[in-house]
Chain A
Amino acid sequence: MPRTGQSGAPVAWGARSNGAVTAPPDDCLARNEWICGAYLSTRRQILLDAVVQHLQLTFLSVLIGLLVALPLAVLARRRRWAAGPVLAVTTVLYTIPSLAMFSLLLPLYGLSADLVVAGLVLYSLTLLVRNILAGLRAVPEETRQAALGLGYGPLRLLLAVELPLALPAAMAGLRIATVSAVSLVTVGAIVGFGGLGNLIYAGMNTYFKAQVLTASVLCVLIAVAADLLLLGVQRLITPWSRAGRA
């Protein structure tokens, strides 16, 4: 696959696709239209593979990000000295543009899916730590004192009182992190592991409009679906917040 992304120079029509399918000369593929049913039917497997890779990369990085963010946020809440450094480091990480982040990880991971996951973990981590910490800090002091008065130990206080009350803020962070990850996976195309981004990258180099549009729309659909799914989960696991609002 050619890696050059030179500006807009249209490739000759003949070089349209990977040459896997020779379409009749009069269909929407040959005319290189934006919306093309024939593209969907002939490239179903390619699209499916890309969607699966996209979902795997997103899920894995958000999950690892969550597993790392939770202890960090709890540490920053419990130990006053830890809050400054944790927030400073995550802010710096978040400021570094995604393409640069992936590139900085290249010597560590090489051209692999691990590189994309590692980069995305660092971004989700930032969003999750900030939101979980905000949620933990918003737990009313009287509530904590009441739990301590009932004889709760530090662990039980965390698991039974603080974390449940921080759930709405944490879930809001999780939704933002997931939607961002879905969108950032596409940049992984630079190392060949970008899910739907790979199709966009290949479509750009071959001036293949239907492929670029289809992959882009699928990306947005995945982001919206993931957001709605997490919103549903949030409603299910925090029934009290809905009752309180009604």
Chain B
Amino acid sequence: MNALTAAWDWLTDPAHWSGDDGIRHRLLQHLALTVVCLLLSCLIALPVALVLGHLGKGGALAVNLSNVGRAVPTFAVLVLLLLTPVGDWGEGPTVVALVLFAVPPLLTNAYVGVREVDRSVVQAARGMGMTGRQVLFHVELPLSLPLVLNGVRIAAVQLVATATIAALAGGGGLGRIITAGFNLASTPQVVAGALLVAVFALLVEGVFEAVERLAPRRARDGR
């Protein structure tokens, strides 16, 4: 337990909280990266997935994308991006890699969600004279909300993890506390950084649990 007390001492030292390398700054960086990239990925993935699901096209692509995303190492993508012109633009590689790895779970879950809406409900909506757009927004989207939300949760957790690895390739965020600890051969700092990252990831997961529970009953019933 010595390692934990040393890490706790490191965490509670006010000197480690201030400055550009301080915990506060890294925490805000991590939060900003996660939130901005989650919004970006949702803006990219959700419209595509909903439209594809509505039309019933591109299913193989939407489903296989998740498998491809798992096989490609995050670290490799970060370093490859760093060595391309994207790398000249500050947090560019981090943002691009984060979005790349958040899109597959969003796309797959939203697509599957729309496709799994009961066909007879969709037919009934059409029979009532709803246009394609009305069917999508008033029938398919509300009914697929549980799976869409589940995809957002998976993507958010994935974003936190990827943002941590980005520190290996020089990106900002809480991972930098860990990599700095390795550079200084300071085990307390490494463990303290890891604890911060772990708590951050679990909090994100917890927030989404809460959102799913508070979501309208209709949105929960599908599970």
A residues near B (Cβ < 8 Å) are: 3-8, 92, 95-104, 106-107, 176, 179-180, 182-184, 186-187, 189-191, 197, 200-201, 203-204, 207, 209, 212-213, 215-216, 219-220, 223-224, 227
Say yes or no: B168 contacts A179, CB within 8 Å.
Answer: no
In the complex, chain A residues whose CB is within 8 Å of the CB of B93: 8
Say yes or no: B191 contacts A186, CB within 8 Å.
Answer: no
What separation, in Å, do the CA atoms of A7 and B190 have in the docked complex?
20
Say yes or no: B75 contacts A200, CB within 8 Å.
Answer: yes
| Distance to closest chain A CB from B37 (angstroms) | 15
In the complex, chain A residues whose CB is within 8 Å of the CB of B43: none
Q: What's the dominant secondary structure at chain B's contact region?
A: helix
CB-CB under 8 A for A8 and B82, given A104-B194, A107-B187, A187-B168? yes
B residues near A (Cβ < 8 Å) are: 2-3, 67, 70-77, 79-80, 82-83, 87-88, 90, 93, 157, 160-161, 164-165, 167-171, 175, 178-179, 181-183, 187, 190-191, 193-195, 197-198, 201-202, 205
| Distance to closest chain A CB from B109 (angstroms) | 16
What separation, in Å, do the CA atoms of A32 and B79 have in the docked complex?
15
| Distance to closest chain A CB from B219 (angstroms) | 21
In the complex, chain B residues whose CB is within 8 Å of the CB of A6: 170
Say yes or no: B187 contacts A183, CB within 8 Å.
Answer: no
Say yes or no: B72 contacts A220, CB within 8 Å.
Answer: yes
Say yes or no: A204 contacts B197, CB within 8 Å.
Answer: no
Say yes or no: B202 contacts A96, CB within 8 Å.
Answer: yes
Say yes or no: A189 contacts B161, CB within 8 Å.
Answer: no
Contacts A98-B164, A103-B193 supplied; 4 other A-B pairs, CB < 8 Å: A99-B165, A100-B195, A191-B182, A200-B73
24 A-B contact pairs sorted by A residue (CB < 8 Å): A5-B167, A5-B168, A7-B87, A7-B169, A7-B171, A92-B202, A95-B157, A96-B197, A97-B164, A98-B164, A100-B195, A103-B190, A106-B194, A179-B71, A183-B74, A186-B73, A186-B74, A187-B165, A187-B168, A191-B182, A201-B79, A204-B82, A212-B79, A212-B80
